[in-house]
Amino acid sequence: MTTSIINSQKVNNDLGNSDLRLKDIIKTLPRECFQQNRRKAWMQVLFSVFAVGLGYFILTITPWFLLPIAWIFTGTALTGFFVIGHDCGHRSFAKRRWVNDLVGHIFMMPLIYPFHSWRIKHNYHHTHTNKLDEDNAWHPITPEVFADWDKPRQSAFELFMRKRLWWVGSIGHWAVVHFDWRNFKTKDQSSVKLSVAVVVLFAAIAFPLLIATTGIWGFVKFWLMPWLVYHFWMSTFTIVHHTASDVPFVAANKWDEALAQLFGTIHCDYPRWVEFLCHDINVHVPHHISTAIPSYNLRLAYSSIKENWQPYLHNECQFSWSLMKQIVDQCHLYKTDVGYETFNEYYAKR
């Protein structure tokens, strides 16, 4: 883990007092970072289709005792589908909007993820990254909010963290947030309805057909288990990108856009095969500096950011079970202007 030149306390002191602007950071990036390359974009598409196809082929021939390995590979490859849809949602896959929308729907469809629902909510996350009570991705719960919950909800959240169930977090987010168009502005509801209809129609055709041809076990083997692996990576990427004991979430009146995107976004290294299948989505800092950077240019952009803005970057980390244990053991409740406290610390004050 590299050592950051500044610490979180300095970042907290700078919040609301910084002359740093996001546009100043963007100006230092090489112009190539923003250039869309159709060949690279469609090569990513072909690679992901090949990887997912290979995964399903392996699932058809592998003995039962090797199925977990095949599920992990196939689910990780399916995460690459999501990353392609992710680029489409930010309009960084293609210059034509209809191409982004079409490709985004196609690649999120097998994941039963409504494209426009996710696109709209995710762009809101980029606009309010690490802004307390506004960020709609993986945001911390304050002691005040926790105290207002009823006992069953408190117990469920505490169980979720103490039992280290972060890996199912994105399933709840997917189910609760993305299918009810009433949660969206009136101008966006028609787009949301379209995306919901697309995935519902896909499920209505694909799931019965899969069950009819392979049985319930085939549905579990070929769709459910890879889908759960995909959500493992979705949950893991999401929590790791913006969660550490020293990463501040601040109120709107103290929030600084540039500092939130630089210090509040964490670069984490994963096994190279995971990064390869997932199109370098772990190289996340440049994506928060500008969503116009295609995934195949993230490493180039990050090299430039490290060269020019290293003092404002959070420590890099490496994915491991000890890292996830550290996050879910320490980052329970968030006290405004103070930081995280554990459930034990919270109850000790009651």
**Alpha carbons 100 and 86: distance in angstroms, whole number:** 10
Q: Count of domains in the chain? A: 1
pLDDT, tens only, 69-111: 999 999 999 999 999 999 999 999 999 999 999 999 999 999 9
Residue (of 285, 248, 315) closest to 25 by Cα position? 285
**Residue 1, domain member (yes or no):** no
Report pLDDT digits (tens) over 290-317. Answer: 999 999 999 999 999 999 999 999 999 9
Give the containing element (helix H, strand E) for 318: strand 317-318
> How many residues in total does the chain contain?
350
pLDDT tens per residue, range 188-226: 999 999 999 999 999 999 999 999 999 999 999 999 999
Chain position carrying tokens 């690679």:
47
Instruction: Classify residue 237: in a domain, yes or no.
Output: yes
Mean pLDDT of 171-187: 92
Question: Has residue 15 got a pLDDT over 50?
Answer: no
| pLDDT for the residue numbered 103 | 98
Average pLDDT, the chain: 92
Q: Provide the pLDDT for residue 139.
A: 83
Q: First and final CA of the chain: distance in angstroms? A: 36
Give the residue numbers spanning the domain of 41.
Answer: 8-348
Q: Is residue 112 part of a domain?
A: yes
CA torsion sign, 152 to 153 to 158 to 164?
A: positive
Alpha carbon 53 to chain centroid distance?
24
Mean pLDDT over 227-231 rounds to 98
DSSP 110: G
Sign of CA dihedral 120, 93, 261, 19: negative
Residue 2 lies in a domain: no
Cβ(117)–Cβ(179) below 8 Å: yes
Q: In 3D, which of 157, 331, 184 has the Cα closest to residue 249?
A: 331
Within-domain flag for 89: yes
Q: Is residue 3 part of a domain?
A: no
The single-letter code of the amino acid at 301 is A
Cα–Cα distance measured from residue 342 to residue 327, given in angstroms and rounded to the nearest whole number: 11
pLDDT given at position 41:
98
The residue type at 15: L
Tell me the C-alpha distance between 59 and 207, whole Å.
Answer: 17
**Residue 288 placed within a domain:** yes
